Amino acid sequence: MAKVCPEITEPLVRIDIARGRGDELPQAITSLWNGATVLDLGSGEGAYSFLAATAVGESGCVIGVETTPDMISQARVNLIHSRFCNVSFRLGELEYLPVADQSVDVIISHYGINQSCGKAQMFREALRVLKPGGRLAMIEMVITQVLPEDVEEDGALMLDDIEDMLRAAGFDRIRSQTRPPRNGFYHVPAISRSVKNMTDPVLVEAVRPA
């Protein structure tokens, strides 16, 4: 069980992870282990950081990195009420992570990577902070057909593009699986609703070579 602060007596904040956002990443989180260090890219209000904190136990830790000050503020409020002592949230750029070299066992991201305007650099940073043998598990929207240029600039990429950038960054054992939207809907602020039928959520996993 994750370590909690004894001086906090409020019940754990309720995080609804099923509001149209799918359950693919929680499945990946179940493979975490006690003592692991986890980095949550684009951590938002902290929902998946808290799930990971439960999975890694009191000897593990979770770092959430978010680019938006308002989201960081809300995540820290949620953290106070959550009672977790093994979670921290940091404001920073995904392309220049405020995280030490080779300090992370697992990176998770739930629709967070599309926030980045420099994904190739972001994947290089992900490799830098992972320990040898560490892995990346992310859910992202990928383009399934040719889109107008202005839509592509909103953040989504073809799956082949993502896999190519991961390889170029130095990752191997790359695998992906398209996931159907839960209840026929998903919420991805960075991508216009007008093209949601042209994109699909996909689970992408990769490993830093040992």
Q: How far is CA 39 from CA 94, 143, 198, in A?
A: 11, 26, 30
pTM of the model: 0.81
**Can you give the pLDDT at residue 172?**
97
pLDDT at 64: 98
Average pLDDT over residues 2-31: 46
Model confidence over 90-138: pLDDT tens digits? 999 999 999 999 999 999 998 888 888 899 999 999 999 999 999 999 9
Q: Domain for residue 15, yes or no? A: no
Contact 133, 208 (CB under 8 A): yes
Q: Percentage of the chain surpassing pLDDT 70?
A: 70
CATH number of the structural domain spanning residue 82: 3.40.50.150
Task: Indicate whether 82 belongs to any domain.
Answer: yes
Domain that holds residue 176: 24-207
Q: Is 168 among the domain residues? A: yes
Arithmetic mean of pLDDT, 15-21: 37
Place of tokens 């950038």: 165
Residue 62 lies in a domain: yes
% of the chain at pLDDT higher than 90: 56
Give a yes or no: residue 10 inside a domain. no
Determine, yes or no, domain membership for 4. Answer: no
Domain count, the chain: 1
Residue 51 maps to a domain: yes
Give the pLDDT confidence score for residue 184 in this predicted structure.
39
Calculate ∠ Cα 160-114-129, nearest 5°.
Answer: 85
In a domain, 99, yes or no: yes
Lowest pLDDT segment from 1-5, 36-40, 164-168, 205-209: 1-5
Average pLDDT over residues 69-92: 95
CA dist 53 → 6, 33, 48, 76, 147 (Å): 16, 10, 8, 14, 38
